């Protein structure tokens, strides 16, 4: 981990030096632009009586130099914007490595209490796992990462390929940081995703055939007219008349062009923001199958995606020239510029409409691998789990820990083999670590299914659908009690098992909303049914009677515990998992210590 921190700090220092260098060039170019204005003005003033040839030439040269320097200035400002984004990216890495989540996107809109496991495992929201792992550079990538967390592909071959891709992506640190930086300074927003999706249904908007032929013919007509004018065969008024005619024609189309331009700027502009990202994906060499196959989808016989998107950006920039009044008059009067660009954009969309969805899919997948690759790089001590298809075991780990608990506070525990149609029952006192242990198993199991490394010394698992029941809540909107909400969740498990699904189940203190006898009877019956249906999982409970199932279901139920040690007036926890049924409980001790019940009361009062 120290090596990772040193690398980021070194990159931060190098980036600061780059920032200072860029600022110096920006100041120099600004000085040169000012100098051009001052020198040109001085020359015009000194030689104002020397004729229009002298001062006119000076003005022309001054304008050309000033505009050229302005373009260079703009490029350096874009470089500075990129370097500033890179600075923020590296600072974010350092913050998250220290578990500081200030200003970090938690993906709160993806929170869904009805999902199989995401609400229980705190995948989304403030200080969530999404906030910790998300490094996506685009909105489509962000959505794809949430989809990967919610619905990972559980095919063994797919998981192994993703492991390979994540491992290779972790080696491309420059690529990952620059990819995020270009995404950060692209100006993309969440509405861009919706805009791109509308492209498929966008109707053709080019001009008719006659106007299109006229657009093509205009340059040739002007060349012919200028040639005839130079030979004296045509008066200059003819050229002026043609210019005015074309300008009026452009004016007649102006409203339609403006309407189309506004629509295009809401759709195609969104896609053009991704040009740099596609370029990076195409020029980086990848060896593993998943990344190289994605890369190959960026190129076909008609060129690369970056070239096409760059062409789109160029066409949109050309169309924007019409906002300048002088530019509108000259470009449309001589070239029918608006109609020319509209036709070019229409041709571009016609040629590429069907490929856009594929491009965005490739981009979003790369974006997900950037996040997972960064997670791998930031945790060199994590391991890729071994995947088993025979469900023996469904889950087993050594020194398993929760990735969101800081390293200095994290207590890791072994997970004994959980085979098909078996359950582990975890008993223990309040605050002893049962719920954290369940979430530790759940989040690492999910990481394994995603093809990411896990926080463990070793782990073996079989990829099965994960289903959890760690928390439930009342629903006023549905007139639903806490107890009924929990029953509905348990019903989902049973119905899916009856349909033949194999599930990995994690439950915490089931049937909390009823009396102890009813709870015990129902819990015993439920565990028997889950084991009988071939389900595998782990259940935490305060009910020590559930531990007796190990006697009636030998080899199918195992008992493990978290103990609390009470010494005098002190309560301590080791957070270490041990075999057997819990011996110590702490509710009465805590109530006496907090003054809720008298200090001389006993559990039998």
Closest CA to 427 of 203, 550, 577: 577
In the Cβ-directed half-sphere of 486, how many Cα atoms lie within 13 Å? 20
* Calpha distance 340→213 (Å, rounded): 10
pLDDT band at 264; cut points 50, 70, 90: confident
Task: Specify the higher pLDDT residue, 594 or 232.
Answer: 232
Residue 479 has pLDDT above 50, yes or no: no
Alpha-carbon distance of 458 to 470, in angstroms, equals: 25
3-state SS string for 105-120: CCCHHHCCCCCCCCCC
**Looking at residue 475, what is its pLDDT?**
43
Q: What is the pLDDT of residue 477?
A: 39
Percent of the chain with pLDDT over 70: 89
User: Which of 603, 576, 575 lies closest to 589 in space, CA to CA?
Assistant: 603
- Residue 383 DSSP label: B
* 483, 488, 492, 497: CA torsion to nearest 10: 60
**pLDDT at position 134, please?**
96
Of residues 438, 576, 413, the one with CA closest to residue 507: 438
Looking at residue 387, its pLDDT comes to 95
What pLDDT, on the 0 to 100 scale, is given for residue 474? 44
* C-alpha to C-alpha distance for 200 and 143, rounded to whole angstroms: 20
Interval 491-513 mean pLDDT: 88
Picking from 395, 363, 383, 521, the residue whose alpha carbon sits closest to that of residue 451 is 383
> Phi-psi category of 595—alpha, beta or left, where left has phi over 0 and alpha has psi -120 to 50?
left
CA pair distance 600, 547, nearest whole angstrom: 31
Confidence of residue 504 (pLDDT cuts 50, 70, 90): very high
What pLDDT is stored for residue 523 in this prediction? 83
pLDDT at 293 over 70: yes
Q: How far is CA 353 from CA 318, 366, 447, 476, in A?
A: 21, 21, 36, 46
Instruction: Check whether 187 has a pLDDT greater than 80.
Output: no
Q: What is the predicted pLDDT for the residue at 605?
A: 41
8 A C-beta contact, residue 500 and residue 395: no
Q: Specify the pLDDT at position 145.
A: 96
Average pLDDT over residues 189-198: 65
Name the nearest CA neighbour of 143 among 387, 456, 367. Answer: 367
| 14-40 pLDDT, tens digit each | 999 999 999 999 999 999 989 988 988
Give yes or no for residue 336 having a pLDDT over 60. Answer: yes
CA distance 12 to 302: 40
User: What average pLDDT does the segment 79-108 reach?
Assistant: 93
Strand partners, 571: 566
What pLDDT was estimated at residue 588? 54
pLDDT in tens, 224-250: 888 888 888 888 888 889 889 988 988
Q: What is the pLDDT of residue 14?
A: 94
The dihedral through the CA atoms of 97, 101, 103, 108 has a sign that is positive
CB under 8 Å, gap of 24 or more: what pairs does 1-4 form?
1/97, 1/379, 1/380, 1/381, 1/407, 3/380, 4/97, 4/377, 4/378, 4/380
Residue 190 banded pLDDT, cuts 50, 70, 90: low
User: How would DSSP label each residue in 172-208?
Assistant: -HHHHHHHHHHHHTS---THHHHHHHGGGGPPP-PPP
pLDDT at 133: 96
For residue 116, what pLDDT band results from cuts at 50, 70 and 90? very high
Higher-confidence position of 240 and 403: 403
Q: Specify the pLDDT at position 380.
A: 95
Reported as type and span, the H/E element at residue 466 is strand 466-469
Q: In this predicted structure, which of 60-64, 326-330, 490-494 has the lowest mean pLDDT?
A: 326-330
Mean pLDDT calculated for residue range 132-141: 93
Q: Are strands 504-508 and 423-428 parallel, antiparallel or unpaired?
A: unpaired
What count of residues does the chain have? Answer: 605
pLDDT at residue number 193? 64
- Single pTM value for the model: 0.84
pLDDT tens-place string over residues 310-321: 888 888 888 887
User: Over the chain, what is the mean pLDDT?
Assistant: 86
DSSP 255-273: HHHHHHHHHHHHHHHHHHT
The pLDDT of residue 211 is 82
Whether omega for the bond prior to residue 393 falls within 30 degrees of 0, making it cis, is yes
Q: How far apart are CA 276 and CA 598, in angstroms?
A: 69
Smallest Cα–Cα separation from 400: which of 461, 451, 457? 457
What pLDDT does residue 256 have? 86
Mean of pLDDT values over 270-282:
84
Structure confidence at residue 237 (pLDDT)? 87
Which residues are CB-contacts of 524 (< 8 A; sequence separation ≥ 6)?
A: 545, 546, 549
Closest CA to 108 of 116, 100, 119: 119
End-to-end CA distance of the chain: 53
Listed range (204-208, 247-251, 536-540, 595-599) with the worst mean pLDDT: 595-599
Q: For the segment 553-586, what is each residue's pLDDT rounded down to a tens digit?
A: 888 999 998 887 766 666 777 889 999 887 765 5
pLDDT over 60 (residue 473): no
Q: What is the mean pLDDT of residues 184-205?
A: 69
Give CA–CA dist 388/339, Å, rounded: 61
SS3 566: strand
Q: What is the structure's pLDDT at 378? A: 96
Does residue 262 carry a pLDDT above 90? no
pLDDT of residue 433: 86
Query: Under 8 Å CB-to-CB from 248, ≥6 apart: which residues?
Result: none
pLDDT at site 26: 92
| pLDDT digit string, tens, across residues 34-93 | 998 898 888 888 877 776 677 778 888 888 888 888 888 888 988 999 999 999 999 999
Res 261: pLDDT: 81
Radius of gyration over alpha carbons of the chain, in Å? 34
């Amino acid at each position: 981990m120290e090596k990772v921190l040193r690398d980021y700090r070194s990159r931060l220092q190098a980036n600061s030096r780059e920032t200072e260098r860029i600022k110096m060039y920006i100041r120099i170019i600004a000085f040169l632009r000012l100098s051009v204005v001052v020198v040109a003005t001085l020359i015009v003033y000194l030689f104002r009586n020397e004729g229009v040839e002298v001062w006119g030439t000076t003005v022309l040269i001054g304008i050309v130099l000033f505009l050229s320097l302005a373009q260079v200035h703009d490029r350096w400002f874009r470089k500075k914007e990129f370097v500033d984004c890179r600075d923020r990216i590296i600072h974010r890495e350092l913050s998250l490595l220290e578990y500081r989540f200030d200003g970090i996107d938690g993906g709160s809109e993806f929170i869904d209490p009805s999902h199989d496991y995401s609400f229980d495992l705190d995948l989304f929201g403030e200080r969530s796992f999404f906030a910790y792992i998300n490094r996506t550079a685009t909105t489509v990538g962000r959505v794809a990462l949430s989809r990967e967390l919610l619905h990972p592909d559980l095919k063994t071959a797919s998981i192994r390929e993703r492991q390979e891709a994540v491992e290779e992506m972790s080696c491309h640190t420059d690529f990952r940081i620059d990819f995020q930086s270009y995404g950060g300074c692209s100006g993309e927003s969440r509405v861009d995703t919706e805009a791109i999706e509308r492209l498929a249904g966008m109707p053709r908007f080019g001009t008719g055939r006659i106007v299109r032929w006229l657009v093509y013919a205009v340059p040739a007509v002007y060349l012919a007219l200028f040639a005839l004018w130079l030979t004296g065969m045509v008066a200059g008024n003819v050229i002026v008349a043609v210019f005015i005619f074309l300008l009026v024609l452009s004016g007649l189309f102006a409203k339609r062009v403006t309407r189309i331009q506004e629509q295009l700027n809401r759709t195609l502009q969104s896609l053009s923001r991704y040009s740099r990202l596609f370029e990076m994906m195409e020029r980086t060499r990848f060896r593993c199958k998943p990344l190289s196959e994605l890369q190959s989808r960026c190129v076909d016989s008609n060129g690369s995606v970056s070239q096409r998107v760059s062409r789109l950006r160029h066409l949109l920039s050309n169309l924007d020239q019409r906002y300048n009044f002088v530019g509108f008059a000259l470009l449309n009067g001589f070239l029918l510029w608006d109609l020319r660009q509209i036709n070019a954009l229409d041709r571009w969309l016609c040629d590429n409409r069907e490929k856009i969805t594929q491009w965005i899919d490739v981009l979003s997948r790369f974006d997900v691998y950037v996040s997972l690759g960064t997670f791998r790089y930031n945790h060199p001590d994590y391991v890729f789990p071994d995947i088993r298809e025979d469900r023996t075991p469904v889950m087993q780990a050594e020194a398993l820990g929760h990735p969101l608990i800081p390293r200095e506070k994290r207590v890791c525990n072994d997970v004994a083999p959980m085979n098909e149609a078996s359950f582990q029952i975890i008993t223990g006192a309040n605050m002893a670590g049962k719920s954290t242990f369940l979430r530790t198993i759940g989040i690492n199991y999910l990481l394994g299914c995603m093809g990411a490394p896990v926080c463990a010394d070793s782990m073996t698992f079989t990829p099965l659908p994960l289903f959890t029941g760690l928390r439930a809540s009342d629903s006023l909107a549905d007139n639903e009690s806490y107890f009924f909400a929990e029953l509905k969740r348990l019903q989902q498990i049973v119905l899916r098992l009856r349909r033949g699904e194999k599930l990995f189940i994690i439950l915490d203190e089931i049937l909390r909303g009823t009396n102890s006898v009813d709870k015990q009877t129902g819990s015993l019956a439920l565990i028997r049914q889950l084991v009988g249906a071939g389900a595998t999982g782990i259940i935490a409970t305060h009910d020590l009677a559930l531990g007796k199932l190990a006697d009636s279901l030998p080899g199918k139920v195992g008992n493990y515990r978290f103990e609390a040690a009470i010494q005098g007036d002190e309560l301590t926890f080791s957070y270490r998992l041990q075999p057997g049924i819990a011996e110590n409980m702490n509710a009465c001790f805590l109530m006496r210590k907090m003054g809720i019940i008298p200090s001389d009361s006993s559990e039998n009062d």
